[in-house]
Amino acid sequence: MPTVGHCPRASWRPKPVSALSPHPDTSKKLVTGNLLRVAATGRHRYYTLAGPEIAAALESLALIAEPYEITSLRQGTRANAIRQGRTCYDHIAGKLGVTITEALLDSKALVRTDGRADAARAETDPLSAGTGDDCPYELGPQAKDVLATIGVDIDSVRKSRSRRPLLRACVDWTEQRHHIAGTLGAEICRTFVDAEWITRKPRERAISLTPRGHRALEVRLGLANL
């Protein structure tokens, strides 16, 4: 029977994300339906979401789903961890993702093109998921210098062969504010993982800042209260 796990990207060590073993027919249908991708390693099968649009759809469903009843301290701790920081496909979401986005706005690494100065969602935005091709952000005058302080070479990101847009904005389903996606969002996440500024526990989407990450973001982006 296949094992559900995380199909590793370059920056993540292989870590299973679920202890469940789905029925083979269910797994096959999800793969055939282009919702999941699968990679075989020995007798194990590692599954990952088929793309950022699938992650966006799941974020939307999470918003309208019946609230999950918290019946233990452990469940409450996990729910809070998801709100504080998590991965949304390959970029940082939750309070951490929104706070980083707002810091990039404050430092003029990003600017909004719709007249706003913060990461608040617009009235026309969906309640969750991406804003589509109408991304209300662009690189600001300080983008190169500010992003360099957190280890991101924006010139290299722009030259990547990815067909994904450089910038996308997602409406965070727990914060109801924007966090940055696209190739820049993915590169920020990868860089933070490689620098050991964020960590993720096995079988969980939640991520947390390490002490090194706290110090780095306080010094480099002025984020003291994460």
Q: Quick one: average pLDDT of 2-26?
A: 44
A 10 A CB-CB count for 149 gives: 14
Give, for 45, the enclosing helix (H) or strand (E): strand 44-49
Per DSSP, what are the bridge partners of residue 40? 45
Q: Checking phi first, is residue 176 left (phi over 0); if not, alpha (psi -120 to 50) or beta?
A: left
Q: Distances in Å between the alpha carbon of 218 and those of 114, 122, 213, 223?
A: 28, 28, 8, 4
> Would you state the structure tokens that stand for residue 120, as one six-digit string?
């608040």
Give 144-162 pLDDT, tens digit per residue.
Answer: 999 999 999 999 999 987 8
Does the predicted TM-score (pTM) go above 0.85?
Answer: no
pLDDT digits (tens, 9 = 90+) for 161-173: 788 899 998 888 8
Q: Tell me: the pLDDT tens digits for 166-215?
A: 999 888 888 889 999 999 999 999 999 999 999 987 777 899 999 999 99
Phi, psi of 130, deg, nearest 5? -75, 160
The model's confidence at residue 59, banded by pLDDT at 50, 70 and 90, is: low
pLDDT tens across 15-49, in order?
333 434 555 677 778 888 888 888 776 666 667 77
